[in-house]
Structure 1
Amino acid sequence: MRHIKALIALFIVSSFTVSCFEDNDDNQISASQINDFVWKGMNTFYLYKDDVPDLANDRFTSDGDYANYLNTFSTPEDLFESLIHQRQTVDRFSWIVNDYIALEQLFSGIITSNGMEFGIFRFSSTDTDVYGYVRYVLPNTSAASQGVKRGDIFYGINGTQLTTENWRTLTGAENYTINLGTYNDKGTPQTTDDSVNNTTQTIALSKAQYTENPVLISNVLDVGSNKVAYLMYNGFTGTDQFNAELNDIFGAYKSANATELVLDLRYNPGGSVNTAILLASLITGQFTGEVFSTEEWNAEIQQVFENEDPELLINRFVDNNEGAALNSLNLSRVFVLTTNSSASASELIINSLDPYIEVVQIGTTTRGKYQASRTLYDSPNFSRSGANPSHTYAMQPLIFKSLNVNGVTDYFNGLSPNANNVVGESIHNLGVLGDENETLLARAISIIDGSGKFPISTPSKSENLIDITGSSKDLLPLTNDMYTDKEIPDELIKRILFE
């Protein structure tokens, strides 16, 4: 009985005099009580459990030994971080939060935003000064009302120069003023002499609660005799509402007789595995029931699934969304626009469709996130139901890695376009999203119409030369996350815990 000690220890640790703090309901709870939840959850589900000695089933010789171990960590965050396997290189994505209410709002697409979605860049990897550039503006927000537009450059916040150390803090404030600049390329093709010139122009922005629709742009373009659907999709949010809207959009593509699709995931950090399956099934439609992806968990859970219900390890193409028939396009080819900000579920789409249809990737290399996570709550089966009312801590550890039907996974360095389709965004001339002349979309169109009018990309001033160090999405805990809400039967959870 592998976890009995941990379960019994739950009642023991509370007697230890460890630091106490108040939760969101002003109830005092010891750090060790939450630490017990952290260790048990990681010991049960963590993908890299076998690589972390402190998570071994035989790590503790007695309940007292276990309790003393928990008491060495003054906060749940400290314990959680100590259990992460190679934070900088292998597990860059697991995290813990002390307010799962806010977390659940994020999963629903509810954020606090001023509407300015931006990237952060510098001219050299040794520079400490960084600059912001506006990628897009969300409608009906402060940024939209203040006239912020794609391509705007800002060098500071409230008069303070942005740096590698301060940009997250400065842009994380509820209210701030951006100091605008202009990009100066010095009239040369090299980036080594480029700079941002400061101006006196400022724009004041305020954040408010906002529900972001992952569909930013949806239209159908006439390209010669072809009807080309274009979808800029900025997050696999996974809510019933947005999934239904996605199906409706594909219904409009179908009604317009679209025969090609350009899927713009350049700023999409990922999200729900289920929504990725839905989107892939809308793109295709001819592979219902076939394997979209498979999952590889830690050795213990993998063995239980394989013995008891191996179908739980398989994600299959679907033909409906909550009972509603899909408006699938039955395409044999799809164009996917990517940058280093394309991650997790965005990469899952590329990797899992690749064995079935032609996936033409255009842009730059993706982030390299092939692992998925799951929200763990402090309850007997780690689900939301029955969660400990004394605190609102939850964890989002990596729990499995995804493989396509051919077993391809571990694309740690990202997924790359072929050489002819490496096209970087130009910071000083981003173009209009959805416009046929915008660089990445223009490359797709040139392939579709066969005109060859779009030359092989010259990397001058483009994203693949200028160092992109972050984005506004990095301020959210879900950045680059791929998560599953798959229900694991309680009897399997009990088997994993006690056998």
Structure 2
Amino acid sequence: MKKLLFLVITIQLFISCNKEEDPIAPTITSGINKVYLNNLMKQWYLWNDELPETIDIDKYDTQNTMLEALKNDQDRWSLIQDKAEYEAYYQSGTVTDENTGAHGLYLSVFENGDLYIRFTYPGSQAFSNDLDRGSKINKINDVDVSTVTTEEINNLLGANVKGVTNKFEITTPDIYVYNDEGALEKQDGVTKTIEISKEAVVVAPIVHKNVITVNRNGQKVKVGHLVFMSFIETAEQALNTAFAEFKAEGVSEVILDLRYNGGGRVNIAAQLSGLLAPTEANGKDLFRYRHNNRQAEENSDYQLEIEDANLNLDRVFMLTTGNTASASELMINALRPFMDVQVIGERTHGKPVGSYGFENNNFIYSIISLRILNANNEGNYFDGLAVDQVAGDDPSYNWADTREPMLYQALQMIQNGAYDGGSAARKGHFDLDNFKDHDDKYKNVFIIDKKELKN
């Protein structure tokens, strides 16, 4: 997807990039775009048989209002994107332009007013200065955050301009990790003050990875733990490198954290599947595309290709929330015919459909154009994918902390062969009323490839 969908609370420390969709010469340009959209919907829209026989494009001020009016009730995702933003994100993960900067902090607030960092991206000043998952922000520019509103916090941080500097007092969390012998050790947190400047923000597809050594029936087991954020092009090399390291260390179990992963490129989902799946699945149908009747010739089956760093697993753990969507869900569903996919956390978003990137007048039209099924022709999960074990998303824990509710449950199953029912429903407590989703213009876009509209 273009921007991650966060249904947990988010303070808008991160720059929003919303733009008008029909900028210059609204009468001429907007009219041309609406004609294009009309033809596109009739030819490629998955629910084209439900469209009006005649669409009066003059009824709509813009192509966006037209699209919203024509969408099927099940369609929560079709959208029109600025071409430059679309390409910048999917090719390199860039989400700020040349005129803007941000700290790139994604935050959650607990009911008692405590402010925690959900995540930051490696490579950013924030990440390098321990403003990472689990860190608590106590003060911003010497102001106690518990004494001010979220709007006042945003004002404290100043303009979204590169070079704007802010001071943070933070407390990093205590972390409990397994050492190389599989015994728990505590790493103490600290309270400190740091200064960072707003900068260009680039999505890092992997925000955390580590190998955890646990004891199972007296034997050491190596567990690869990977927090994967987005199926963008830069993920290809990052995933190959991570899994090559896992393979070299003898990893035999994988915990893949997709809790904030809203999707992206299907080729990356196929690559990741080829790193996880058992080798005997090589060449078998991984997923199947099914279009509307006018595009039936586009129906195709995508075969699984085992990657060089494949771990030949018979089981994988997926950590999910309602933010887990699109290509993330596709991969969970696609792997189930070949291996045991254990889903831990919360029911996923529910997007069993995909889109192509159609280009016109510097816009990309991501119109829902196909259903995606697995090798067993399963894939109607509009209500999301259910979990095998409930666990909450608690940002007061660092990614590596073995007490983090979702990670904890996966490790319990790996070590003991069963989940811990006593901790099953543990959740962080959040105030869900005072924050907006972060930049909801780009929700769960599942991109197959670019296509040309056929006349």
TM band (smaller chain) = 0.7 to 0.9
SS of the residue 1:375 aligns to: strand
TM (norm. structure 1) is 0.69
1:93 to 2:61 alignment: no
> Which amino acid in 2 is paired with 1:81?
E
1:273 to 2:273 alignment: no
Work out which of the residue numbers 221, 224, 236 in structure 2 matches 1:243.
236
Partner of 2:363: 393
Tell me, yes or no, if the aligned pair for 1:271 and 1:480 is still in contact at 8 Å. yes
Residues 217-232 of structure 1 aligned to structure 2 (within 5 Å) = 217-224=208-215, 225-232=220-227
Tell me, yes or no, if the aligned pair for 2:114 and 2:146 is still in contact at 8 Å. no
Quote the offset at 1:139 in angstroms.
Answer: 2.9
Quote the offset at 1:232 in angstroms.
Answer: 1.0
Give the whole-Å Cα distance in 2 for the aligned partners of 1:148 and 1:473: 21
Q: Deviations 1:258-317 (Å, cap 9, x if unpaired)? A: 111111111111111111111011101331111111112122112x33xxxxxx521210
Give the whole-Å Cα distance in 1 for the aligned partners of 2:349 and 2:239: 24
The number of aligned residues is 396
Work out which of the residue numbers 317, 327, 351 in structure 2 matches 1:335.
317
Work out which of the residue numbers 288, 304, 319 in structure 2 matches 1:294.
288
1:49 to 2:48 alignment: yes
Partner of 2:188: none
> Which amino acid in 1 is paired with 2:300?
L
Quote the offset at 1:453 in angstroms.
Answer: 8.8
SS of the residue 1:244 aligns to: helix
Tell me, yes or no, if the aligned pair for 1:371 and 1:399 is still in contact at 8 Å. yes
Q: Deviations 1:26-52 (Å, cap 9, x if unpaired)? A: 999432112111211222211121122
Q: Deviations 1:41-65 (Å, cap 9, x if unpaired)? A: 2222111211221xx3xx27xxxxx
> Which amino acid in 1 is paired with 2:149?
Q
Partner of 1:481: 445
> Which amino acid in 1 is paired with 2:397?
G
Tell me, yes or no, if the aligned pair for 2:257 and 2:318 is still in contact at 8 Å. yes
Structure (1 or 2) with the larger CA radius of gyration: 1
Tell me, yes or no, if the aligned pair for 1:375 and 1:395 is still in contact at 8 Å. yes
Give the whole-Å Cα distance in 2 for the aligned partners of 1:203 and 1:28: 51
Distance 1:291-1:171 versus aligned 2 partners, 3 A rule: farther
Tell me, yes or no, if the aligned pair for 2:104 and 2:126 is still in contact at 8 Å. yes
Give the whole-Å Cα distance in 1 for the aligned partners of 2:302 and 2:158: 37
Partner of 1:111: 95
> Which amino acid in 1 is paired with 2:273?
A
1:368 to 2:342 alignment: no
Distance 1:158-1:74 versus aligned 2 partners, 3 A rule: farther
Percent identity, aligned pairs only, is 27
> Which amino acid in 2 is paired with 1:257?
G
Distance 1:144-1:253 versus aligned 2 partners, 3 A rule: closer
Work out which of the residue numbers 394, 401, 406 in structure 2 matches 1:426.
394
Distance 1:248-1:202 versus aligned 2 partners, 3 A rule: closer
SS of the residue 2:95 aligns to: strand
Partner of 1:213: 204
Q: Deviations 1:437-468 (Å, cap 9, x if unpaired)? A: 322112111111117694532535x15x7575
Distance 1:230-1:202 versus aligned 2 partners, 3 A rule: closer
TM (norm. structure 2) is 0.75
Work out which of the residue numbers 70, 77, 85 in structure 2 matches 1:102.
85
> Which amino acid in 1 is paired with 2:160?
E
Distance 1:28-1:114 versus aligned 2 partners, 3 A rule: farther
The higher relative CO (CA closer than 8 Å, separation ≥ 6) is in: 2
Residues 21-420 of structure 1 aligned to structure 2 (within 5 Å) = 23=24, 29-53=28-52, 56=53, 59=54, 69-86=56-73, 90-97=74-81, 99-108=82-91, 109-112=93-96, 113-119=102-108, 133-144=116-127, 148-151=131-134, 152=136, 161-162=149-150, 174=160, 207-224=198-215, 225-237=220-232, 239=233, 241-284=234-277, 285-302=279-296, 304-305=297-298, 312-320=299-307, 326-378=308-360, 391-418=361-388
Aligned-residue Cα RMSD (Å) equals 3.9
